[in-house]
A and B are shown apart, each in its own frame.
Chain A
Amino acid sequence: MTAVAQHKTILDVEKVRKDFPILSRKVNGKPLVYFDNAASSQKPQSVIDATNKYYSFENANIHRGVHTLSQEATSAYEVVREKVRAFINADKSHEIIFTKGTTDSINLVASSFGKNNIGESDEVLISAMEHHSNIVPWQMICEEKKAKLKVIPINDDGELLMDEFHKLLSKKTKIVAVTHISNSLGTINPVNEIIAAAHEKGIPVLIDGAQAIHHTTVDVKELDCDFYVFSAHKMYGPTGVGVLYGKEELLNAIPPYQGGGDMIKTVTFEKTTYNELPHKFEAGTPNIAGGIAFGVAIDYINLLGIENIAAYENELTNYALTQLNTVPGIQFIGKAKERASVISFLLDNIHPYDAGVILDKMGIAVRTGHHCTQPLMDRFRIPGTVRASFSFYNTKEEVDLLVNGLHKVIEMFK
């Protein structure tokens, strides 16, 4: 039996939905249809319980006490590091740095890597479809160092122009930072090709995995990326927790980001020596409860199987694309051949905000606006889009509700 065939039968959506208490609530008197998963996913009961259990029975600071509670909390937290390592197939668990989230991880790299590696008239290469989180930190370091931010353009379908990418790689390029999957268009970028081409010129690559980590198998060893970043809250875990994966060599070579407790070896008023990886980058008391609950979220994903999740979400996305296509006047923004479960669209000249307000009244949660990708919206000359993003707990019936809702929207604004 092939892995895929076996998996297809495993994901029982009705059963899975019962794991997410929020899915049974009502919004504006209607059953909630949650299609804003790209912004943040919902949490299963096990993750919620883990947070409660931690504060009820396990709470203590970590890495600093000999007492039992501190020891227990420390091991519980460190076990999660190992879980993350295994989840993305990193070599060593100290290559996993816990952060506040994707944004925090990118700021860390931009600042610490940029400090000694980016200089005047050097270049940082990003793409036209980046989230503000993968634009602004680079802009800030470029400004500071008088370096230039270069942008890989895209075509009208929302795919990277790879020829242009190859041309933009130069001796001046100090780092390439691109998103694995676009949060506005759903495009899956050819990150393997990007990483290989950059490495050929000795340029390190950061991949923003915020939209990919929970939708597809991520193997950092196979990718060979230098940095990979993501947030726990988009993978059924808590907010305020994220990951920076970095190759050991690089993490050792770049300076610490923030100073404080935990990241030091010795402190005198004259000189501080820094702790080793991963603690060097983890100043201060972290989000311990969040970290532990994040581990439970990874267990949950592993239980379902990321391949099962991907297969289910792909099927649902294809169904949604077909059904949405029947809505008069719909215009998809982002038509990449390789795409994930994020669908952005416009309805004739109905403003996304108007559509979002009416859908909300029907209990349907979609995202409207520029999705923190203003330059991308400018590229398409639109104020924003309506975005529906699916998770494995969404159903075809919910997609039908969205389609009906859109018909109603059109009728109201006609």
Chain B
Amino acid sequence: MAASIKELEETIVEEFSYYDDWMGKYEFIIELGKSLPLINEKYKTDKNLIRGCQSRVWLYAQIEGGKIIFTADSDAIITKGIIGLLIRVLSHQTPDDIINTDLSFIDQIGLKEHLSPTRSNGLVSMVKQMKLYALALKTKML
């Protein structure tokens, strides 16, 4: 059985616990941002674009065997790195689990500021959008 959201969150928190200063943590996020192939280019359309004031985010969702698969991208690397984390946790989960999660791991690894509405980097809207997708796909499945 695939890992649950909670288990994935715990793994990430543990990974981040190796870095005790901000620099190491950000270097790790930047690496994630650089290395992840996140979205099929053909889905980087205006329709899938979430326009933050600071950085742009593309999000695409599809359903496979009752689980939602998210792919996403951003033009800013740090945003992309955090997207990588969010997708690792939320992709391949059931709509219900996605709707009910509070993503507290972001706070625990000290990146809460990136999910603050004032950052306007598109991440808050992205998380909202992920939950909306989950909700919509859930209704479709019923």
Q: 8 closest pairs, A vs B, by CB? A: A351-B76, A353-B76, A353-B55, A353-B54, A354-B78, A369-B54, A361-B22, A354-B76
The answer to whether A384 touches B30, judged by C-beta atoms less than 8 angstroms apart, is: no
Cβ-based interface call for B19 (8 A):
no
Could you tell me the distance between the alpha carbons of A355 and B50 in the complex, rounded to whole angstroms?
A: 21
Chain A residues with Cβ under 8 A from B138's Cβ? none
Question: Interface size bucket, B side?
Answer: 10 to 19
Complex alpha-carbon distance, A369 and B26, angstroms: 20
A384 CB contact (under 8 Å) in B26, B54, B78: B54
Q: How far is the CB of B20 from chain A (nearest CB, A)?
A: 13
Chain B interface (Cβ < 8 Å from any Cβ of A) = 22-23, 26-27, 30, 53-56, 75-79, 114, 120-121
Question: How far, in Å, is B54 (CB) from chain A's closest CB?
Answer: 4
The reply to whether the CB of A413 lies closer than 8 angstroms to some CB of chain B is yes
A369 engages B56 (CB within 8 Å): no
| Residues in A neighbouring B75, C-beta threshold 8 A | 351, 383
CB distance from B73 to the nearest CB of A (A): 12
14 contacts between A and B (CB under 8 A): A350-B77, A352-B54, A353-B54, A353-B79, A354-B30, A354-B77, A357-B114, A358-B26, A369-B54, A370-B53, A412-B23, A412-B27, A412-B30, A413-B77
Closest CB in chain B relative to A368 CB, distance in Å: 6
Q: Is A6 an interface residue when CB atoms closer than 8 A count as contact?
A: no
Residue contact B55 to A351, C-beta cutoff 8 Å: yes
Report chain B residues within 8 Å CB of A358: 26
Complex contacts, A412 vs chain B, CB 8 Å: 23, 26-27, 30
- Size class of the A contact interface (CB-based, 8 Å): 10 to 19
CB pair A413–B56 under 8 Å, yes or no, is no
Per-position binary interface string of chain A over residues 335-377, scored 1 when its CB falls under 8 Å from any chain B CB and 0 otherwise? 0000000000000001111101110010000001110000000
Q: Is B121 within 8 A of A353, CB to CB?
A: yes
Q: Does A28 contact B (CB under 8 A)?
A: yes
Binary flags per residue of A371-413, CB closer than 8 Å to B gives 1, else 0: 0000000000001100000000000000000000000000011
Residues of A near B56 (CB, < 8 A) are 383
Residues of chain A whose beta carbon lies under 8 Å from any beta carbon of chain B: 28, 350-354, 356-358, 361, 368-370, 383-384, 412-413
A370 to B55, CA, bound (A): 10
Question: Contacts A353-B76, A357-B114, A368-B54 given; 9 further ones with Cβ under 8 A?
Answer: A351-B76, A353-B78, A353-B121, A361-B22, A383-B56, A412-B26, A412-B27, A412-B30, A413-B30
- Least Cβ–Cβ distance between A66 and chain B, in angstroms: 46
Cα(A351)–Cα(B122), bound, Å: 14
Give, as a whole number of angstroms, the nearest-CB distance from B123 to chain A: 11
Give A370's nearest chain B residue, CB to CB.
B53
Complex contact A361–B26 (CB within 8 A):
yes
Known: A368-B54, A369-B53. A357 touches B78 (CB 8 A): yes
Could you say which residues of chain A place their CB within 8 Å of the CB of B55? 351, 353, 383
The smallest C-beta distance from B28 to any residue of chain A, in angstroms, reads 11
Q: What chain A residues lie within 8 Å of B121 (beta carbons)? A: 353
Q: Tell me, rounded to whole Å, the shortest Cβ–Cβ distance linking B34 to chain A.
A: 8
Q: Which residues of the other chain, B, contact A361 by a CB distance below 8 angstroms?
A: 22-23, 26
Query: A412 to B34, alpha carbons, bound, how many Å?
Result: 11
Question: For the complex, what is the distance from the CA of A361 to the CA of B30, rounded to whole Å?
Answer: 14
Complex: A207 Cα to B46 Cα, angstroms: 36
Closest to B122 in A: A353
Q: Identify the closest chain B residue to A357 (Cβ).
A: B78
Q: How far is the CB of A279 from chain B (nearest CB, A)?
A: 37
**Smallest CB–CB gap between B135 and chain A, Å?**
29
Q: What is the minimal beta-carbon distance from A89 to any residue of chain B, in angstroms? A: 38
